[in-house]
Structure 1
Amino acid sequence: MAEETKVEDKTVEAAEAAAEVKEEVKPNPLERKVEILLDRKEVEKQVAKGLRERGKKARFHGFRPGKAPAAMVAAAYGREVEYDVINKLAIDEYIKKIEEGKYRVSGMPDIAPTEGAPADADKISFTATFEVFPEVTVPDVKDVEVTKYECELTDENVNKTIDVMRKQRATYNPTEKAAADTDEVTVDFKGTLDGEAFAGGTASDYKFILGAGRMLAEFENGIRGMKPGETKTFPVTFPENYPSKELAGKTVEFEATLKAVGEEVLPALDDEFAKSLQIESFEKMKNDVKDNLQREVEARLQARTKQSAMSALLSVSDFPLPHAAVEEQRQALIHDAVEKMKLQGIKLQPQDIPASAMLQEATQRVRLGLEISTLVEKENLQGTDEQVKALAENIAKSYEDPKEVVDWYINNPQHKAELAAVATENNVVDWVLKNAKVKNEKIPFENLMADRA
């Protein structure tokens, strides 16, 4: 008896929980329904016409093509033809209703027979259920804080960049000295795990620059200080996040022979160095480097500021979203992710990705897209031809023939449209900066350039 009581209690709890869940399901404020009435005689007329067309080509055993009795054709194809006719007429009527009501529809409709519709000898009733896009107003951002990022490009930054270019063109002279950072070393090595060689752990005449970080730090420590001809055995512990599961977090032993050391020789910073880079003089090279860095700095600052502005728009956005639009965006993001993984050699199908994946990003993209569209329309923020040309000219500065590049953008409709979209987005960012609370924040050059986002 006590056991029965427990079962009853659990049943009651389950029922109460189900009731609570049911209460939480809110009606979709963007859902709309329209009634579609089809004339039964018109349906029958179209079905008869469709069966006649089928009958002309239909093949039945014992009859020549197109000579089968109408009753036989109707028995074989009647349901299919009726479905096609009703489907076409219902969609045509749905489109008329949408145009009459001036609905801004999101996604495909669900058209089904009207539940509980009274029997009507003359009409067939359907209900089309669909979502519409919400009414979006210009957002109020006056109380929202937006960060405008700044960075000063100094001569030191320019000189360091030139030093990197210089090191990329270094030569290496053979030496008998002990291996040190910046030297090019040639090594034979063999790695073993528990006494057994492991895949990828053996190489001959392997060259790398000591201290450049191309090899594991412990491996470089083992080589540092060795002299040509010297052989040495030392342990190396692989990081926990190492791609190879066999080696991740494991300690192995390497036996290495240093075969040669090359001492770094840097080219002189003069006109000859510039000419090796197809630039007429060192002074011009330095100016070009500065100009290119300045463009890169501005682009990165603009990207960071844009991100802050878009976050500001999202923070004041409060309107319902059509589920269809969000799902369409989510599927697009999943498709892009699958394609990127394919390029990395990872085989993955869209159905392998959880339903919740990409949902937040898809939601934000749809919300931001509707917000921006509203701003562009109501605040007249569409990119102008002058802005598009200015963007093209800025891109063209780093090319040998700037005019040719500008013409390539301006005279190609697709490329021009891409720049117009960028100009429009810039206008939106400027609008946010003009109307929100702006906080200026300086970023060190090194931090800005290290940011891969």
Structure 2
Amino acid sequence: MKVNQKKLEPGKVRLEAVATVDEVSNVLQAAHVAFAQSMGLQPQQGKTVAEVAEEHMGIKNLDSIVEASAIEALVPLALDKKNIVPLFPPKAEPKSPFKRGRQFSFDVEVTLKPAYELSSYDPVEVTVQPYRFNEAVVDAQIEEMSKRYTSFVADDPRPVEKGDSCLIAMKCFEKGEELKGLSTEGRTYTAGKGYMPEGFDEAILGMQPGETKQFTFEGPGIDDDFNEITQVIDCTLTVKEIQKEAVPTIDDEWIAKNMPMYKDLAALRADIGRNLERQDREQYDTYCMQAVASELGRRFQGKIADEAYEAMRDNLVQNLRVNLQQQGKDWEEFVQENGGEQQFGMMLMLQTREMLVQGFALDAVFRHEKLTLTDDDINAACHVMNPQANPKQIRQQFEQSGRGFALRESAERMKANRWALEHAIVKHPEEAPAAAPEAPAAEEAAE
């Protein structure tokens, strides 16, 4: 991408950019994938996303549908080319048609992030709870582990009741053809849990261990044309035994049999404890760093542009909507649960300002203390963003998408926050003083 930079009024620049044919193709492809994910379109071998979208949604030109988001993805590439950090995300101004196989020209007017200052750079003073690792979480994890190894063993014989688990053998046929996926020589089944159609449960309830029954039940199916149909299934079923859950006791003997990589239970506990304490320490450090950032925010000086508030608020709302959607929660209901539109809006505004102010305060510390970034600092920021992913891959994703400047900003703020914590005056709540002795009653004092 070719980018020319021109100064405008103080604090603003204009970028004149020309995206290459490959860059246009790359952002269109990424926009196609994002569209498919948002619409729940499943990839099909040998077909492009555009072909799948046309087949299932009747979209003739997917490029035109995703054009706006594809153009938006080019803006960070232009910013990163000039190592510019905007105060808020700028919009592209197209200067040529946006088409696959062609270069694309656009301008971007950027409001630069100001160099805000703090009223003081002296060490901050914070009061935080002292760190304590609760060994009970190790016991809880071992208990969860034992549940994952739960097995089913024979229970006292009795007729099958709703909620009972039982070992069954069965053969199922549809129009004389055996259904291999349903047939089994031995499988644990829990009656009345909805794992099979109601007709199946109605037939199995009341059966005795050792009893065999032939019956027919109906179930949902899909024909060759992917139409929903009702299947009629003939079944011969034998209840072999009533079963109950057996949760193992995690002890040295169980460890030797199931986890020979550990010497004994004590070694397993020690390993679990180390991992949990490391995670717990990271959370505690985040808690302390947040306390420090909050105090630094109180020293912030300057005026933040309305556009920065709006961009941050919109980003918060977008992320929140995505999280609620993943949890299957309704946005309107969530707003009402949090006090209604007015109260929720006020809470969102306060959160937006807090995040902006703390970020700018950390920028000021990084600049004032003349801190510098290393690869380890950037990798640490990547780890915080996604602890489960390879930091190098996260970094590569940021840089390839032109968001290297955003990654560097996050790493700088994180380093400034940690530096401020290392130099902070950290106090812990004092223990409650012993109760003072009660004053003697007037009659006693007179005596």
State the TM bucket, normalised to the shorter chain.
0.3 to 0.5
Normalising by structure 2, what TM-score?
0.41
| Structure with the greater alpha carbon radius of gyration | 1
Normalising by structure 1, what TM-score?
0.41
